[in-house]
Amino acid sequence: MKNRRPKILCVNCNIHLTTHKRYHLLDSRVCAMISNWITDDDVVCKACWELAMEAVNQDLSPNVKIEIEPRQLGHTHVCLLCGCSLLHKQRDKILRDNATELQENMVKVIQLEIQPRQLTPLDRVCHPCWLRTKRKALRTESVVEVNNEPEKDMSIYNESHENLKDPEVPKQNVYNVVLPNYRRAKINTHRCVFANCTSKGKLRSVYDNVRALVLNRHKYYLPKLSRVCDEHLAAHDWDILYDSPNSMDTFSVEQIEHVF
C-alpha cells in the first residue's frame, strides 16, 4: 500500500497548495513579516508571498527593522483543518458565543489538531470537517460519561434484577422476558435501528460504550447485531428510539445477560 503524501498547506493562510503556486526559499525580509508562523520546512502560497513582498517593499532599505503589522492573509476563505477553499461552500464558525458543551468540546478537538497555532474568531472549517470533529467530540464525551457512571449502571442492575424476581409478575416464556421499564431494538443487520431511515450509507456496529450510554440514559437496549447509519450515529438522537415502531419490550435471556 502506497503511503499518502502529507498535505502541503500555506503556513500563513492555510490554503491547500496542491494546485497553487508556492514558495519554499523565503526572502529574509519576508521571513521577518511572517516569522511567527514558519519553520524551516514551511511553504507560503503566492498570494501571501505577494502580500509580504508588498509590505517589505514599502521600505527598500534591508537594514531597517521591519515593524510587524497585523497579520494579513492571501486567501481568507480557507478551511482551518483540511485547507480547502470555502468559496461557494458550506462552512461553520468555530468560536461561537454561548457555545454548548458539545461545541466547546469540538473547539478542544480542533485546537489539538492545529497546535501550536491558536484559534481566532475569523477561523472557519468546511462542513465535512465540522461533522468529522463533531463525531470525535461525541465519542470522547460518551467514553468519559460511561467511565464516570459505574454506580448508575449498578442501580440499573439491581432494579431490573428485582423486577425479574417479583412474584406478582405473570409467568413468562422461559426464553422471553418482559421488562416493563426497558425496551430494545429489533435485530436486523441490514437496517438502521432508527425507524424509516432512508440513509444509503454504510451501517455500523454499535460500540459497547455507546450501547451502555443509551441504556443508562434512555432505558433502551441496542442488541449486539443491531446496526446504525453514519447520519444517525452523528446526530445522537437516541431519545426517540424508546417510542419507535421498531421498539420491543421482550428480552431473551442472552440479551439480559449481555446487559446486566
Closest CA to 122 of 167, 161, 72: 72
Q: 29 has which bridge partners? A: none
Give me the mean pLDDT over the 150-167 stretch: 51
Closest CA to 145 of 88, 93, 200, 214: 214
Alpha helices (H) in 148-183, listed in sequence order:
150-165
Instruction: For residue 196, give the DSSP letter.
Output: T
Contact (CB, 8 A) for 138 and 236: yes
Cell numbers found for residue 195: 425507524
Flag whether pLDDT at 166 surpasses 50: no
Contact (CB, 8 A) for 121 and 95: yes
Q: What is the pLDDT of residue 2?
A: 46
Cell numbers found for residue 181: 421499564
CA dist 139 → 9, 99, 133, 142, 213 (Å): 28, 19, 10, 5, 11
Q: Give the C-alpha separation, 239 to 217, whole Å.
A: 8
DSSP output for 35-74: GGG--TT-BEEHHHHHHHHHHHTTS--TTSPPPPPSP--S
Cell numbers found for residue 253: 435471556
Phi, psi of 199 (to 5 degrees): -65, 135
Give me the mean pLDDT over the 12-22 stretch: 62
Contact (CB, 8 A) for 213 and 142: yes
Cell numbers found for residue 216: 443508562
pTM for the full predicted model: 0.36
Contact (CB, 8 A) for 23 and 46: yes
Residue 183 CB coordination number (10 Å): 20
When the pLDDT of each residue in the chain is averaged and rounded to a whole number, the result is 74
Q: What is the pLDDT of residue 172?
A: 45
Q: What is the pLDDT of residue 94?
A: 82
CA dist 79 → 5, 15, 42, 137, 155 (Å): 19, 8, 18, 19, 46
Phi, psi of 181 (to 5 degrees): -105, 5
- The kind and range of the H/E element at 229 are strand 227-229
- The kind and range of the H/E element at 248 are strand 247-248
Q: What is the pLDDT of residue 171?
A: 46
Instruction: Give per-residue pLDDT as tens, 209-232.
Output: 888 889 888 999 999 888 999 888
Q: What is the pLDDT of residue 221?
A: 92
